[in-house]
């Protein structure tokens, strides 16, 4: 059967979609999510069927819809066929991908083989699986947890779904913090220390999803973070390190697609989490990796039992993937730095690297612990001597110099922390009573900074004057909110008043 092409101005970003009207779909015995092979001369592509409803009842078709005899092509199908609207394609039935059987097996609680996992990930990468089909995979591995072998194969399959960066070095270092803690900008301190010690650290980071700033958002205050792969490699060659946004790199792209269908229900199966993190590390050929699991009230992981379970799995997985992995469990019960929001966090990082008294003690101590751990893991430092080696690099000013070197190589320039602008409108939140600060809620602090405008407004956010354990008097400033919009500022204060987030007892 031949149908007339109508190119539609829609892209899915991945999945190859062809749209038929109900009547043609019935005649061809097709249902939504069935596959068809489209052919014109030598060009061909397998597309997933979408069916437009005949919105005005039987027999009548809305002017703007796909009519009988037409086939609507989304952008991805247009790219494959390169046909103008009005040309004809021939339609053949096509088998559904084999990987759907494997997804069904997982839903039924079966263990997947290496080949099955590779097939699923390969089909996700090629755009052969619809969102609905991917979400069954996520649901299956959410309820029937993947075992360590499956997670290892999933990681390898995800790595092979995209580019893999190679460096001519025996040791490649990387680090990752499980999210959920505000102002946790350790990468910007740890990476320069390690690079100054001569280690290679091709660090890719994400942008914020639910927090007020991701590492990529914060680095962007100082320099561009969207680099091409070759530019990234040249930065690493020049400076031993980089601090770039991973999203532009096409590293383990199947992972990004899976994360998209996890988002609607905020589902994050542990197996997917493990594979997602280590696939990104393997994609930059990391050999030595430090994983930070922040634990505590208000963190993503609340109790030590869960944290130790996850630690254990990371270590097992590291062995299977032939990576040296060190896992540390840290206090995640409050924000790390003082500033929350891209510019506010960038200031903290610079002050800390400059050994200024305005630097953040928590950020400094945590970064030294992490850098020290990696110096020992890579045998740059003797056991027990990592932290002091990291401290001497930091105190010598070499780490700060290294950061500026990286910033310049990525196309930015040195900025004085005092000169980094903050949003003009501000509001001081004061202690409602005297006492000791018992809790500062990460989620709520992030929320207030986001409402103020972070991360899209770099200059928005908030600045904490105290951390847990501090003694404050009634009426003393607890934090200042910065925003360019008085409406946003008002709303942020309103949320603070309703939900609080700092306990003083």
Q: Which residues are catalytic?
A: 268
Task: List the Cα angle 163/164/165 in 5-degree steps.
Answer: 120
Nearest to 373 by CA among 289, 282, 274, 286: 289
Q: Which distant-in-sequence residues (6+ apart) come within 8 Å of 402 by Cβ?
A: 192, 193, 195, 196, 239, 240, 241
Peptide bond into 455 cis (omega under 30): yes
Residue 268: CB minimum distance to its own copies, A:
11
Residue 399: CB minimum distance to its own copies, A:
31
Interface with its own copies (CB under 8 A), residue from 1, 2, 32, 421: 32
Rounded distance between C-alpha atoms, residue 31 and residue 327, angstroms = 48
Interface with its own copies (CB under 8 A), residue from 19, 71, 289, 310: 19
Residue 104: CB minimum distance to its own copies, A:
5
Segment lying near its own copies (by CB under 8 A), choices 142-150, 173-181, 281-289, 400-408: 142-150
Whether residue 120 contacts residue 254, with contact meaning beta carbons closer than 8 Å, is answered with no
Q: Return the H-helix or E-strand segment holding 135.
A: helix 131-143
Interface with its own copies (CB under 8 A), residue from 139, 157, 195, 445: 139
Interface with its own copies (CB under 8 A), residue from 135, 204, 215, 360: 135
Binding flags for its own copies, 224-243, as an x/- string (CB under 8 A): --x-----------------
Of the pair 79, 315, the CB lying nearest its own copies is at: 79
Interface with its own copies (CB under 8 A), residue from 168, 266, 322, 357: 266
Segment lying near its own copies (by CB under 8 A), choices 140-148, 335-343, 418-426, 462-470: 140-148
Residue 8 lies near its own copies (rule: CB under 8 A): yes
Whether residue 191 contacts residue 307, with contact meaning beta carbons closer than 8 Å, is answered with no
Rounded distance between C-alpha atoms, residue 158 and residue 281, angstroms = 11
Residue 499 lies near its own copies (rule: CB under 8 A): no
Per-position b or e across 293-324, b if 16+ CB within 10 A of its CB? bbbbebbbbeeeeebeebbebbebbbeebebb
Q: Which residues pair with 204 in a beta bridge?
A: 244
Interface with its own copies (CB under 8 A), residue from 91, 450, 458, 461: 450
Give the residues lining the site for its own copies (CB under 8 A): 7-13, 19, 26-27, 29, 31-33, 51-53, 55, 58, 62, 64-66, 72, 75, 96, 100, 103-104, 107, 109, 130-136, 139-140, 142-144, 209, 226, 248, 260-261, 263-267, 450, 456
């Amino acid at each position: 059967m031949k149908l007339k092409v109508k190119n539609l101005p829609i892209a899915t970003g991945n999945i190859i979609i062809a749209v038929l009207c109900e009547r043609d779909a019935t005649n061809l015995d097709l249902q939504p999510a069935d596959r068809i092979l489209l052919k014109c001369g030598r060009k061909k592509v397998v597309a997933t069927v979408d069916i437009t409803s005949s919105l005005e009842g039987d027999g009548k078709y809305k002017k703007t819809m796909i009519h009988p005899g037409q086939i609507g092509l989304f952008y991805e199908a247009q790219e494959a066929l390169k046909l103008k609207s009005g040309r004809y394609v021939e339609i053949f039935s096509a088998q559904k991908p084999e990987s759907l059987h494997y997804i069904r097996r997982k839903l039924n609680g079966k263990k997947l083989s290496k080949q099955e996992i590779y097939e699923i990930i390969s089909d996700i990468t090629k755009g052969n699986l619809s969102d609905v089909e991917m979400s069954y995979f996520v649901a299956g591995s959410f309820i029937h947890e993947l075992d360590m072998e499956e997670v290892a194969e999933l990681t390898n399959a995800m790595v092979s779904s995209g580019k893999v960066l190679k460096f001519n070095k025996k040791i490649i270092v990387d680090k990752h913090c499980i999210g959920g803690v505000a102002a946790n900008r350790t990468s910007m301190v740890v990476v320069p220390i390690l690079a100054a010690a001569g280690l290679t650290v091709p660090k890719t980071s994400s942008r914020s999803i639910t927090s007020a700033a991701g590492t990529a958002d914060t680095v962007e205050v100082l320099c561009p973070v969207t680099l091409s792969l070759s530019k990234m490699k040249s930065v690493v060659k020049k400076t031993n390190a980089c601090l770039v946004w991973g999203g532009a790199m096409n590293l383990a792209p199947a992972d990004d697609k899976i994360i998209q269908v996890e988002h609607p229900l905020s589902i994050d199966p542990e197996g997917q989490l493990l594979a997602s993190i280590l696939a990104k590390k393997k994609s930059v050929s990391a050999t030595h990796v430090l994983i930070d699991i922040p634990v505590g009230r208000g963190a993503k992981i609340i109790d030590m039992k869960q944290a130790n379970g996850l630690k254990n799995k990371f270590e097992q997985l590291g062995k299977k993937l032939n990576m040296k992995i060190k896992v540390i469990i840290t206090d995640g019960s409050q924000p790390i730095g003082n500033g929350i929001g891209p510019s506010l966090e960038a200031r903290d990082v610079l002050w800390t690297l400059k050994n200024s008294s305005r630097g953040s003690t928590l950020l400094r101590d945590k970064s030294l612990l992490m850098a020290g751990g990696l110096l020992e893991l890579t045998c740059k430092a003797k056991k027990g001597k990592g932290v002091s080696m990291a401290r001497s690099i930091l105190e010598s000013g070499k780490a700060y110099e290294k950061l500026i070197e990286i910033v310049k190589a990525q196309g930015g320039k040195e900025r004085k922390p005092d000169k980094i602008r903050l949003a003009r409108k501000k509001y001081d939140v004061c202690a409602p009573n005297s006492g000791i600060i018992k809790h500062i809620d990460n989620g709520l602090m992030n929320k207030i900074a986001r409402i103020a405008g972070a991360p899209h407004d770099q200059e928005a956010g908030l600045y904490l004057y105290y951390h847990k354990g501090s003694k404050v008097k009634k009426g003393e400033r607890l934090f200042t909110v910065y925003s360019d919009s008085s409406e946003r500022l008002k709303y942020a204060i309103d949320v603070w008043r309703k939900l609080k987030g700092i306990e003083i007892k």
